Structure 1
Amino acid sequence: MTTLTASTQTTTTNTICNDYADGKFDAALGLAPKTLEGEYFAGYLNYTTETGKAPF
C-alpha cells in the first residue's frame, strides 16, 4: 500500500511600515503632522514641496 502525503508551504506576510508614505498621505489629507522628525516628517514636507500647498 502506498501512502500519499501532501505538503503545504507556509506563507508569511511581512507588514512594512513606511513612515515616509504615511507622512505624504497625512499631508494630502490635510492632517496635522504626528511628529516633526524622521522619515514621516520628510514625506510630509515633500508633499508640500511637490504640490506647493501647505496641508494646514
Structure 2
Amino acid sequence: MPHADTLTVVHHDDTRTRFKDVRYELHRDGIRIWSAEGEHLVTDILMTQAYRQRATAG
C-alpha cells in the first residue's frame, strides 16, 4: 500500500482536497485513503498527485 506525505485529489468540479501523511489504494471506482482522521473513500476523482519526501543518504 503506497504511502504519501502529501496527497492531493482533484475532483471533477476542479476543487482539491489535500491529505497529509496517508496510505492509499487506487480503485476503478475511486481512491481509499487512510489518515490520522480515519478512512476516506473518494469517488469523484479527476486526478491525484502523491508526493513522498525521502531523507537523502549521506
Q: Same fold (TM over 0.5)?
A: no
- Higher helix fraction (1 or 2): 1
- Higher strand fraction (1 or 2): 2
